[in-house]
Amino acid sequence: MVERNKSKKILLLYVLIFLAFLVFLSVMLLTVVKPRHMPSIYAKESSRAQRGNIISADGFHIATTKKLYKAVVNTRYIDPQKKELFIKLFSIYSGMTPKAIKKRLARKKGVVVLSYNIPQIHAQYLKKLSFELRRFKVFLSLKNPRTGLRSVHGLSVIESGESREYPYGNLLTPIIGYPHKIEDNGYTSIKGVKGLEKRFDADLAARQDGFSRGKRDVNSYIILNKESFTKPKINGLDIKLTIPVGLQIRMEKMLDSMKKKLRAQEIMLAIMNSSNGKIYALASSNRYLPKSIHKSDYPSLNSDMIEYSFEPGSVLKPITFSLLLEHKLVNPYDLVNGHNGRFKLGRKVITDEHKFDWLSAENVIVYSSNIGMAQLAQKLSGYEFNNGLKRFGFAQKSTPDLIYERVGSIPSAKRLENEIYKATCAYGYGIRVNLMQLMRAYSVFNNNGKMVTPQIVGSFIDEYHQEKKIDSFDTVDVLRSATAARVKKILIKTVNKGTGKKAITPGLIIGGKTGTAHIVEKGKYVHEYNTAFMGFADDTKHNYTIGVVVVKPKKNHFAAQTAVPVFKKAVDIMIEEGYLTPLTTSTD
């Protein structure tokens, strides 16, 4: 009996041992088969490429891109006893007020975005703060009810997009243009809408986002070796302008002052190298902040230097006269009847502001006689006139660097056979132009008969800071050099003795022509005017074409009292900034 009980006990013991062994084997098998949440030995990183900058000729960043980050925290993981510490530290590192942080945290439990617009420098600080908060155990380790695993979710700083910044406010607007935000899977990117931002959008746009993958070290950093893979980040190209900030700022301030003085709707100014077309200033009195556009800014969003077309008035007379000279249809010393200020051509009566009996053909330009020009123009055939205007670049795009240009219009060759159309077009009516077209045309007189193309972008700069300069565009032969020289001489005389006297600057070669024209609204001429002065300013080393257009001046509607003083102030600034050096004469 005793032996039997002993055998049962031994058998029971073996059974228990066997069952324990089975349980052990089952656990081991389950451990092997069941997927485990082990940290990956690999890590990957991605970085967004960003839009290129717009840089002035003197190296200042006019438009640049700033990366934005968002700070995210899971409120469930914040230790209640250390919540105040978190708020205080986050406030110090982010610049947000403690009150704003508390308000965000109180909105809901769980994942909360504390800020969407964290600058890059603050983001770097916050990433360091995130590490320190973990070290000080500000965040709790919580168990996931689904997986049963414990984890810590701290402060995350995530790249959320980019913002276009304009450090100089409204400088060079509307030429610089403005951008539009685009959302792409939670990332905010930038696309150009107007101006240079739009014209060179494809060049400025980010080329390639960066990506790295490889084995990680204990700190989760990628080990860069043969097994790792890296695709470099390639940012968009920077574009460097021909326009220096220093000169542009001064011109804009001067236009702001003159707009108030003349009570004008807008004043536009362009300064260009007559030999190669490089623009040194392109300014408007009507500007806006690209980051803060209001409804009142809408009329200022267009680049009126190319988007505002108008009848040029008398600034077209030297162009008409040059065609007459080129075809040898007039001699500058020929006499023209001034008809004492009133001349009837067909059914149209043409008048002059100043009455003349007789005057030389060149003095028709110097004293701006509509009657004289109307008679001289009759010598041109409709084809010669129309073709000549085309050669001067009218009704064509003036520059490839700006978009949405209104190219205006010129009368057809057939229409210009009509004596009235020929007369009125000769002194600037019945034709529509823009300021940049006039700049291009007037460069002919200051460049030996060759026409240049206005150029605003001088070079591209790539990711490796290598600069690729853009060659100047080929010049176009418009006039014989002798013809251009003769018209230039007449324009100098116009400043010294005629309607442009207020542009005189001792020591410089100044020439130009005034123009005053009625404005057409709804098909009718109204009692408002555009005034213009197109000309040049040269010293012994530099040749500049300079153009001014004053839109609807209220104080005075004569170009000699409005556009010419603006031209003169621009020349004075160029002297002060070292772009022009007057020739001084010493006396014993």
In this prediction, residues 389-418 reach a mean pLDDT of: 96
Say whether pLDDT at 85 is over 80.
yes
Compute the distance between CA of residue 201 and CA of residue 370 in angstroms, rounded to an integer.
Answer: 46
Say whether pLDDT at 218 is over 60.
no
What per-residue confidence (pLDDT) applies to 440?
97
Domain 245-576 = CATH 3.40.710.10: yes
Per-residue model confidence as pLDDT tens digits over 501-533: 999 999 999 999 999 998 988 778 888 999 999
Angle between helices 98-105 and 83-94 (to 10 degrees): 120
Per-residue model confidence as pLDDT tens digits over 95-128: 889 999 999 888 888 888 888 878 888 888 888 8
Query: Is 216 in a helix, a strand, or coil?
Result: strand
Per-residue model confidence as pLDDT tens digits over 239-264: 999 999 999 999 999 999 999 999 99
What per-residue confidence (pLDDT) applies to 469?
94
Q: Where in the chain is the domain with CATH 3.30.1390.10?
A: 66-165
What per-residue confidence (pLDDT) applies to 273?
98
What per-residue confidence (pLDDT) applies to 68?
85
Compute the distance between CA of residue 223 and CA of residue 463 in angstroms, rounded to an integer.
Answer: 25
What sign for the dihedral angle of Cα 79, 80, 81, 82? positive
List Cβ neighbours of 205 (8 Å cut-off, separation of 6 or more).
51, 52, 191, 236
Compute the distance between CA of residue 170 and CA of residue 248 in angstroms, rounded to an integer.
Answer: 11
In this prediction, residues 451-455 reach a mean pLDDT of: 97
Are 78 and 140 a contacting pair, CB within 8 Å?
yes
Per-residue model confidence as pLDDT tens digits over 526-578: 889 999 999 999 999 999 999 999 999 998 989 999 999 999 999 999 999 99
Q: Where in the chain is the domain with CATH 3.40.710.10?
A: 245-576
Q: Which helix (H) or strand (E) holds 203?
A: helix 201-204
Alpha-carbon distance values, 225 to 84, 214, 229, 394, 455 (Å)? 44, 8, 8, 62, 47
Per-residue model confidence as pLDDT tens digits over 307-350: 999 999 999 999 999 999 999 999 999 999 999 999 999 889 99
In this prediction, residues 144-154 reach a mean pLDDT of: 76
Query: Is 229 in a helix, a strand, or coil?
Result: strand
Q: What is the separation, in whole angstroms, between the first and last Cα of the chain?
A: 151
In this prediction, residues 405-410 reach a mean pLDDT of: 96
pLDDT-derived band at 38, boundaries 50, 70, 90 = very low
The residue with greater pLDDT, 78 or 322, is 322
- CATH classification for the domain delimited by 66-165, as one of 3.40.50.300, 3.80.30.20, 3.30.1390.10, 3.40.30.10: 3.30.1390.10
Nearest residue to 501 (alpha-carbon basis) of 561, 439, 569: 561
Q: How many residues are recorded in the chain?
A: 588
Compute the distance between CA of residue 193 and CA of residue 536 in angstroms, rounded to an integer.
Answer: 33
Residue 271 CB neighbour total at 10 angstroms: 26
Are 533 and 315 a contacting pair, CB within 8 Å?
yes
Q: Which helix (H) or strand (E) holds 239?
A: strand 238-241
Nearest residue to 160 (alpha-carbon basis) of 191, 178, 181: 181
3-class secondary structure for 518-544?
A: EEEECCEEEEEEEEEEEEEEECCCCEE
Per-residue model confidence as pLDDT tens digits over 459-493: 999 988 999 999 889 999 999 999 999 999 999 99
pLDDT-derived band at 587, boundaries 50, 70, 90 = very low
Nearest residue to 545 (alpha-carbon basis) of 224, 312, 271: 271
Q: What share of the chain has pLDDT > 90, as a percent?
A: 63
Say whether pLDDT at 588 is over 50.
no
Average pLDDT over the chain reads 90
3-class secondary structure for 343-363?
A: EEECCEEEECCCCCCEEEHHH
Letter string b/e over residues 243-262, b meaning 16 or more CB atoms within 10 A of that residue's CB:
bbbebbbbbbebbbebbeeb
Say whether pLDDT at 195 is over 60.
yes
Are 51 and 203 a contacting pair, CB within 8 Å?
no
Per-residue model confidence as pLDDT tens digits over 349-402: 999 988 889 999 999 999 999 999 999 999 999 999 999 999 999 999 999 999
The residue with greater pLDDT, 197 or 128, is 197
List Cβ neighbours of 52 (8 Å cut-off, separation of 6 or more).
65, 203, 204, 205, 235, 236, 237, 238, 239, 461
Are 251 and 66 a contacting pair, CB within 8 Å?
no
In this prediction, residues 9-31 reach a mean pLDDT of: 71
Tokens of 294: 């209001």
In this prediction, residues 152-180 reach a mean pLDDT of: 90
What sign for the dihedral angle of Cα 108, 110, 116, 120? positive
What per-residue confidence (pLDDT) applies to 212?
75
Are 482 and 574 a contacting pair, CB within 8 Å?
no
Per-residue model confidence as pLDDT tens digits over 419-433: 999 999 999 999 999
List Cβ neighbours of 377 (8 Å cut-off, separation of 6 or more).
320, 324, 385, 422, 423, 425, 426
Compute the distance between CA of residue 562 and CA of residue 533 in angstroms, rounded to an integer.
Answer: 9
How are beta strands 54-55 and 238-241 bridged, if at all? Answer: parallel
What sign for the dihedral angle of Cα 255, 506, 497, 335? negative
